[in-house]
């Protein structure tokens, strides 16, 4: 999985566990693709401060995943559903597997 997709999944699962300030900066950096300079100016902190917050957020999100494993469970369920779809000709089973993917 590429780095951006991984960050997005980790944030989707655990982002609410960050502080509001961390969430704002992380969203602007990852989702809005703002530079360190832009974020430093926006939040009135140094570029190094922004960099440190982003590294801390990445570490926090990774720690949650290491402890809880929700992203990995999600990916396993997704692979299982994809495998079911690929291995059956039964349209009803495929429909249920696709519904399961949508629920994830």
Find, among 34, 31, 32, the residue nearest to 51 by Cα: 34
Examine the domain organization and report whether 28 and 8 are in the same domain.
Answer: yes
Report field, pTM of the whole predicted structure over 0.75: yes
Residue of 86 and 1 predicted with greater confidence: 86
If asked whether residues 101 and 64 sit together in one domain, one would say: no
The CATH number covering residue 64 comes to 1.10.10.10
State mean pLDDT over 29-39.
94
The domain tally of the chain equals 2
Query: Which one has a higher pLDDT value, 59 or 100?
Result: 59
Helices (H), the chain: 3-14, 20-30, 36-43, 47-68, 70-87, 91-103
Answer whether 77's CB lies under 8 Å from 9's CB. Answer: no
Residue 61, pLDDT above cutoff 80: yes
The pLDDT value recorded for residue 48 is: 97
pLDDT value for 97: 80
59 and 98 belong to one structural domain: no
The domain of 98 spans 69-104
Mean pLDDT of 33-49: 96
Q: State whether 8 and 30 are in the same domain.
A: yes
Dihedral in degrees, nearest 10, Cα atoms 67, 73, 74, 79: 150
Look up residue 74 and give its two tokens: 């999600």
């Amino acid at each position: 999985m590429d780095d951006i997709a991984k960050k997005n999944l980790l944030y989707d699962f655990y982002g609410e566990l960050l502080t509001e300030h961390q969430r704002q900066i992380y969203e602007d950096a990852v989702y809005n693709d703002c530079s360190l300079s832009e974020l430093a100016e926006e939040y009135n902190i140094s570029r190094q401060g922004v960099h440190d917050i982003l590294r801390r957020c990445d570490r926090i999100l990774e720690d949650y995943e290491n402890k809880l494993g929700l992203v990995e469970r999600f990916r396993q369920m997704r692979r299982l559903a994809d495998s079911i779809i690929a291995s059956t000709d039964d349209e009803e089973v495929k429909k249920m597997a696709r519904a399961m993917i949508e629920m994830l």
